[in-house]
DNA sequence: AAGTTATCTGCAATCGTTTTTAGCAATTTG
DNA sequence: CAAATTGCTAAAAACGATTGCAGATAACTT
């Protein structure tokens, strides 16, 4: 029961293929009624591949994230899908943080998609310089490959968010504030560390190198980093953790070591989570709208696909907000009663 | 800088297109060296769409899940991707639980993919009977559309899992055991309820209709269901919640109502989560390997794509395991010391 | 009714491959 | 040495749509 072709329809009605084709693309056609009927009778569906070949378009957009399993990336994907609407379908690539697989996947992408939304697993690679060569536009999200300037991107306001987080700890009276950071070679790792340092500087707190731990954005990394901090002669009294996964790891370490949060150590994380307020204790975090990031990326990409690069690259940023719960201790500086989920807005987008 | 075609390569080398095509498909060719060079020089990449048109294959598999944002579905997607390897790429559709959008998306699928892994948002629809008509094989995961028999499927062992969960509560001395269930019209909802009822029956505990609440697998649904249970004159002393999202909702309700878990109410959920042991109290759950489900679905699908339906449909099932933490109270029946994460295996797969 | 537009139509070319067919040269066989 | 086999090649026909062009109807003018 192989599918009927446009020529079957044409034959059945007694017109030429081009007339049927015209009917399909919405032109006025004399026998439109009988064509309609024939299409229905034969259960004809245009062959997408043939159409794509002719048009050079695929109606597909690739989305590459390091790991769909991370709720943050899943939100980006979902946001992108929503923004794509009915116009484009999504090809998902999530290599589980494997840069080599990612690169191989990108190679196989050419000709399959009209555009790419890209959260690279590794930013300091230079192999993807071929991008300039690729025939489709690319929008970076959250991370940007170093030697590729001139692309659109949708980042988070990492600096401001991290500064707010750090200041929140400072406002609670902490001065021994550690930072479990993501890779310094990554946009969010670097940006958040900058914000952390800026806040310390502003409060005239001398930075302690022991309190800066560069990790890798994973649960295990966060766990080990926290274990390291706990082993210090002079433990920090507060920790700002640079992403959601490492925060989970850090909390596991604290729990395992029976260190009370927030009494012995205050914790603030980056990126919120559905379960953040059920965790023990409910977690204070910096949050930003990943869904929005995905959606913005998609709409930017669709613009590029439509209009090309006649407009200069956009660098979009989404806000970071402070969500206060209980992992930083008493919220005396703010009114206690509505403190369970109070949101302080940070910077605005650019 | 539009891409070079096979004919450009042929011209440059001075052979025919077919020779180049042969070279590409691995045949022995006289001027293979110069062809290789020409391909490199021209940066030639075969046009996928043309190839697909000719071959009738797309090298794509669609994966439809209700919501990628749900870590359980994300794991299925990831599992499928891993199992696909380099042979097939994934098209992701996740409509956010909207059956209409899902149906529309399926319509647009024909001709784009060689197969479909399908976790339907709604199982009691009959509109998709056209499936028989679709030219590609389908493997159902976790849920199965009612009036479609004869398809491959990869389910979880819901009955056994639910029975184990319920028995766990019974073993703790509970008799007033409620069940916040998923839709009775869904495979997992129905199966888990059956397991729950079977375990009650086996323990000769009369079922109390007040204690069975049919909900909808969402956070809000779980919240409302738990609120309803708390409002009963005679509250249950234990609750078995039918999926991860509803468990979150139920816990939020309990927390908000300041009901202590497990002292006042014991809770056991279905489906584990990265954060389950950080929640307050650490959550005892039934867990199954969603990643494996996705991987099995993909390999089954690839077999179908390769061999067609010469073999009868497979109905695979993955195990459910009990992960004991603390939300069901003292684990006196088991040795206390390693109770934090003890795994009891349940049934085996079929 | 004839002339002028305005619509609609079919033909044929095209998109970039793969694959069948037939043919040519070189090698092997009887 | 003629015949058969092997190993490769080029030419041409698909795959199933879209589209420019020129010709055919139809619809208005006067």
Higher pLDDT, B163 or A339: B163
- The pLDDT score that the predictor gives to residue B134 is 64
> Would the pLDDT of A347 be above 90?
no
pLDDT band at B126 (very low <50, low <70, confident <90, very high): low
A247-259 pLDDT, tens digit per residue, is: 999 999 999 999 9
Which residue in B2, B96, B108 is closest to A89 by CB distance? B108
Flag the least confident range among A143-157, B30-44, B124-138, B230-244: B124-138
**φ and ψ of B131, to 5 deg:** -50, -45
Higher pLDDT, A342 or B96: B96
Flag the least confident range among B122-136, B284-298, B328-342: B328-342
> Would the pLDDT of B157 be above 70?
yes
**Integer CA distances (angstroms), B30 to B4, B8, B19, B20, in order:** 22, 18, 9, 10
**CB proximity B36 to A under 8 Å:** no
The helix/strand/coil state of B304 is helix
Instruction: Check B91 against A91: CB less than 8 A apart.
Output: yes
| For helices A32-42 and A17-24, angle between their N-to-C axes, nearest 10 degrees | 90
pLDDT more than 70, % of chain A: 90
Residues in A touching B46 (Cβ below 8 Å): 111
Higher pLDDT, A175 or B349: A175
- What's the mean pLDDT in A286-305? 97
**φ and ψ of B268, to 5 deg:** -130, 135
Instruction: Check B3 against A45: CB less than 8 A apart.
Output: no
What CA–CA distance (Å, rounded) separates A249 from A241?
10
> Would the pLDDT of B265 be above 90?
yes
What CA–CA distance (Å, rounded) separates B208 from B199?
14
> Would the pLDDT of A22 be above 50?
yes
- The pLDDT score that the predictor gives to residue B338 is 38
- What's the mean pLDDT in B315-338? 75
Q: What is the pTM of this model?
A: 0.92
What CA–CA distance (Å, rounded) separates A20 from A17?
5
- Minimal Cα–Cα distance from A270 to chain B, Å? 16
pLDDT band at A349 (very low <50, low <70, confident <90, very high): very low
Measure CA B344 to chain center.
22
Question: Residues 119..178 of A with a Cβ closer than 8 Å to B: which?
Answer: 133, 135
Chain D nucleotides covered by protein, CB below 7 Å: 7-12, 14-20
- The pLDDT score that the predictor gives to residue B335 is 35
Which residue in B49, B81, B135 is closest to A94 by CB distance? B81
Residues in B touching A108 (Cβ below 8 Å): 86, 89
pLDDT band at A146 (very low <50, low <70, confident <90, very high): confident
Which residue in B46, B75, B91 is closest to A90 by CB distance? B91
Q: Check: CB of residue A178 under 8 Å from CB of residue A213.
A: yes
pLDDT band at A131 (very low <50, low <70, confident <90, very high): low
* Nearest nt to the A46 alpha carbon by C1': D17
Chain C nucleotides covered by protein, CB below 7 Å: 7-12, 14-20
Length of chain B in terms of residues written = 350
pLDDT band at A125 (very low <50, low <70, confident <90, very high): confident
pLDDT band at A310 (very low <50, low <70, confident <90, very high): confident
Mean pLDDT of chain B: 90
- The pLDDT score that the predictor gives to residue B88 is 96
Flag the least confident range among A144-148, B71-75, B205-209: A144-148
Residue with tokens 């129905």: B190
Q: Check: CB of residue A242 under 8 Å from CB of residue A194.
A: no
Residues in B touching A273 (Cβ below 8 Å): 275
- The pLDDT score that the predictor gives to residue B169 is 97
Characterise B349 by phi-psi region: left (phi > 0), alpha (psi -120 to 50), beta (else). beta
Question: Helix/strand/coil (H, E, C) string of chain B?
Answer: CCCCCHHHHHHHHCCCHHHHHHHHCCCCCCCHHHHHHHHHHHCCCCCHHHHHHHHCCCCEEEEEECCCCCHHHHHHHHHHHHHHCCCCEEEEEECCCCHHHHHHHHHCCCCCCCEEEECCCCCCCCHHHHHHHCCCCEEEECCCCCCCCCCEEEEECHHHHHHHHHHHHHHCCCCCEEEEECCCCCHHHHHHHHHHHHHHHHCCCCCCHHHEEECCCCHHHHHHHHHHHHCCCCCCCEEEECCHHHHHHHHHHHHHCCCCCCCCCEEEEECCCCCCCCECCCCEEEECCHHHHHHHHHHHHHHHHHHHHHCCCCEEEECCEEEECCCCCCCCCCCCCCHHHEEEECCCCC
Higher pLDDT, B145 or B132: B145
**CB proximity B90 to A under 8 Å:** yes
Higher pLDDT, A197 or A341: A197
Distance A23 CA to D24 C1' (A): 19
Judge if the beta carbon of A28 is closer than 7 A to nucleic acid strand C. yes
Measure CA A170 to chain center.
29
Residues in A touching B63 (Cβ below 8 Å): 92
Flag the least confident range among A37-41, A337-341, B166-170, B254-258: A337-341
pLDDT more than 90, % of chain B: 79
pLDDT band at A169 (very low <50, low <70, confident <90, very high): very high
**Using the 8-state DSSP alphabet, how is residue A255 labeled?**
H
Q: Which of B3, B44, B111, B261 to mutate to test the interface with A (most CBs of A within 10 A)?
A: B111
B161-198 pLDDT, tens digit per residue, is: 999 999 999 999 999 999 999 999 999 999 999 999 99
Q: Which of A154, A137, A132, A240 is nearest to A196 (CA)?
A: A240
C-beta neighbour count of B201 within 10 angstroms: 12
Residue A39 C-beta-side C-alpha neighbours within 13 Å:
16
Residue with tokens 């909390």: A251
- What's the mean pLDDT in B110-134? 81
- What's the mean pLDDT in B135-142? 92
**CB proximity A258 to B under 8 Å:** no
- The pLDDT score that the predictor gives to residue A156 is 96
Residues in B touching A280 (Cβ below 8 Å): 278-281
Residue with tokens 């989560």: B273
> Would the pLDDT of A74 be above 60?
yes
Instruction: Check A280 against B278: CB less than 8 A apart.
Output: yes
CA angle centred on B115, ends B112 and B119, rounded to 5°: 110
Mean pLDDT of chain A: 90
Instruction: Check A105 against B93: CB less than 8 A apart.
Output: no
A44-56 pLDDT, tens digit per residue, is: 999 999 999 999 9
Question: Residues 215..254 of A with a Cβ closer than 8 Å to B: which?
Answer: 219, 248, 251-252
- The pLDDT score that the predictor gives to residue B332 is 41
Q: Which of A1, A56, A274 to mutate to test the interface with B (most CBs of B within 10 A)?
A: A274
pLDDT band at B150 (very low <50, low <70, confident <90, very high): confident
Higher pLDDT, B134 or A100: A100
For nucleic chain D, which protein residues have CB less than 7 Å from any of its atoms?
A 2-3, 5-7, 17-18, 21-22, 24-25, 44-47, 50-51, 53-55; B 14-19, 22, 28-31, 50, 53-54, 56
Residue with tokens 């015209």: A22
- The pLDDT score that the predictor gives to residue B133 is 62
**How many A-B residue pairs are in contact by the CB < 8 A criterion?**
140
**Using the 8-state DSSP alphabet, how is residue A208 labeled?**
-
- The pLDDT score that the predictor gives to residue A337 is 35
- The pLDDT score that the predictor gives to residue A133 is 62
Residue B342's DSSP bridge partners are: B324
> Would the pLDDT of A193 be above 70?
yes
pLDDT more than 90, % of chain A: 81
- The pLDDT score that the predictor gives to residue B12 is 93
CA angle centred on A114, ends A112 and A115, rounded to 5°: 110
Judge if the beta carbon of B103 is closer than 7 A to nucleic acid strand C. no
**CB proximity B289 to A under 8 Å:** no
Judge if the beta carbon of A5 is closer than 7 A to nucleic acid strand C. no
* Nearest nt to the B22 alpha carbon by C1': C18
């Amino acid at each position: 029961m192989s599918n009927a072709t446009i020529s079957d329809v044409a034959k059945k009605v007694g017109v030429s293929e081009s007339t049927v084709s015209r009917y399909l693309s919405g032109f006025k056609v004399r026998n439109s009624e009988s064509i309609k009927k024939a299409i229905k009778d034969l259960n004809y569906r245009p062959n997408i591949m043939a159409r794509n070949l002719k048009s050079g378009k695929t109606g597909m957009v690739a989305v590459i994230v390091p790991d769909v399993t991370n709720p943050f990336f899943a939100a980006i994907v979902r946001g992108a899908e929503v923004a794509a609407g009915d116009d484009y379908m999504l090809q998902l690539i999530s290599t589980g943080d494997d840069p080599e697989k990612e690169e191989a996947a990108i190679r196989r992408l050419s000709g399959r998609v009209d555009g790419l939304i890209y959260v690279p697993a590794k930013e300091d690679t230079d192999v993807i310089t071929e991008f300039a060569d690729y025939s489709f536009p690319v929008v970076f999200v959250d991370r940007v490959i170093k030697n590729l300037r001139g692309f659109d991107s949708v980042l988070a306001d990492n600096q401001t968010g991290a500064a707010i987080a750090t200041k929140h700890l400072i406002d609670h009276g902490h001065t021994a504030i550690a930072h479990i950071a993501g890779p310094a070679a990554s946009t969010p790792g670097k940006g958040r560390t900058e914000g952390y340092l800026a806040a310390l500087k502003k409060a005239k707190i001398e930075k302690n190198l022991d309190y800066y731990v560069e990790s890798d954005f994973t649960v295990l990394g966060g766990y080990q980093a926290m274990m390291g901090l706990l082993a210090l002669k002079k433990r920090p009294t507060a920790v700002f953790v640079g992403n959601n996964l490492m925060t989970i790891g850090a909390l596991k370490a604290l729990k395992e070591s029976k260190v009370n949060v927030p009494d012995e150590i205050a914790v603030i994380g980056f990126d919120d989570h559905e379960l953040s307020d059920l965790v023990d204790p409910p977690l204070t975090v910096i949050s930003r709208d990943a869904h929005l990031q995905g959606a913005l990326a998609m709409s930017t990409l669709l613009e590029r696909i439509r209009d090309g690069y006649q407009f200069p690259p956009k660098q979009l940023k989404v806000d970071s907000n402070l969500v206060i719960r209980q992992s930083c201790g008493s919220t005396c500086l703010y009114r206690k009663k509505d403190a369970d989920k109070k949101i302080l807005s940070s910077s605005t987008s650019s």
